[in-house]
């Protein structure tokens, strides 16, 4: 499968290079880095990319928000806006057609997941919260976006190209890979126990290797050999 092509629009060269290296490590192809929103439009006139990652450029007359709207209309290419805390205000992104707004500094796992989700139109993490403060995700299921609080999730089960997210009263089936949903969840709270299961550590009732028992649900989940070491490292035993 061809690597996803990314255009980076960032005025600070050192940020461009660092982000390019990180994205390359994640398996993406950064095809071009430009320094202004206007140069991004010029590049897209003759070149095709899968997604654009763009700084806000609040000091430019032609801002990233302007460019994002033009890119959406003229090229139908999704844009993720990357915003530093000191640059952000609601007015600057009002009526923006950006698919997602992410705050710097960027978490690699969440960035990788959001790029894939945005390109595939999965609408699974459309929020601007930092990983350390994230309290919920949005998932597209049954033709609507459903807000799921992370603390309400008991476990997640995979079936081919779908995953089912189980809460106390509901189950949401989403067309997304297990790897992608794993990247979107905070690793201190959710752990993969098996190629087909992710569990919320807070919802574990008891453990007797090779099984985990989930509270309330009384669901028995297997601990795969490949996942045992990482799983046990996250469990604090007295």
Q: Looking at the predicted structure, is the pLDDT value of residue 197 above 50?
A: yes
Q: Looking at the predicted structure, is the pLDDT value of residue 182 above 90?
A: no
What's the confidence (pLDDT) of residue 124?
Answer: 42
This model's pTM is above 0.75: no
- The structural domains of the chain, ordered by start, are 1-133 (3.40.50.2300), 141-238 (2.40.50.1020)
Q: What is the pLDDT of residues 24-55, one digit of tens each?
A: 999 999 999 999 999 999 999 999 999 999 98
With a pLDDT cut of 90, the percent of the chain lying above it is 39
Q: What is the largest CA-CA distance in the chain?
A: 62
What's the confidence (pLDDT) of residue 73?
Answer: 86
- Among 104, 126, 105, smallest CA distance to 117 is for 126
- Sign, CA dihedral 32-36-37-42, equals negative
What's the confidence (pLDDT) of residue 230?
Answer: 85
Cis peptide, bond prior to residue 111, ω within 30 of zero: no
What's the confidence (pLDDT) of residue 66?
Answer: 87
- Among 52, 93, 47, smallest CA distance to 72 is for 52
Q: What is the pLDDT of residues 86-145, one digit of tens each?
A: 544 544 555 667 888 888 878 888 888 888 878 776 444 434 334 445 688 878 777 677
Strand 162-166 to strand 171-175: parallel, antiparallel, or no bridges (unpaired)?
A: antiparallel
Q: Looking at the predicted structure, is the pLDDT value of residue 194 above 70?
A: yes
What's the confidence (pLDDT) of residue 94?
Answer: 57
Mean residue pLDDT of the chain comes to 83
């Amino acid at each position: 499968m061809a690597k996803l092509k990314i255009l980076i629009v960032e005025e600070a060269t050192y940020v461009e290079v660092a982000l390019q290296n990180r994205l390359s490590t994640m398996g993406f192809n950064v095809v071009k880095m430009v320094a202004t929103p206007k140069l991004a439009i010029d590049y897209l006139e003759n070149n095709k990319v899968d997604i654009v990652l763009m700084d806000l450029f609040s000091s430019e007359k032609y801002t990233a928000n302007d460019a994002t709207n033009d890119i959406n209309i003229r090229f139908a290419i999704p844009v993720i806006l990357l915003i530093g805390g000191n640059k952000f205000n609601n007015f600057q992104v009002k009526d923006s057609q950006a698919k997602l707004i992410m705050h710097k500094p960027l978490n690699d796992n969440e960035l990788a997941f959001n790029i894939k989700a945005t390109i595939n139109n999965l609408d699974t993490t459309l929020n601007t919260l930092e990983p350390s403060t994230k309290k919920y995700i949005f998932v597209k299921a049954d033709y609507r976006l459903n807000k799921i609080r992370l603390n309400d999730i008991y476990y997640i089960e995979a079936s081919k190209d779908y995953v089912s997210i189980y809460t106390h009263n509901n189950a949401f089936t989403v067309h997304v890979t297990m790897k992608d949903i794993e990247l979107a969840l905070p690793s201190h709270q959710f752990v993969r126990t098996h190629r087909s299961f992710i569990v919320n550590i807070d919802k574990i009732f008891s453990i007797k290797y090779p099984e985990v028992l989930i509270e309330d649900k009384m669901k028995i989940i297997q601990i795969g050999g490949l996942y045992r070491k990482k799983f046990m490292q996250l469990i604090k035993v007295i």
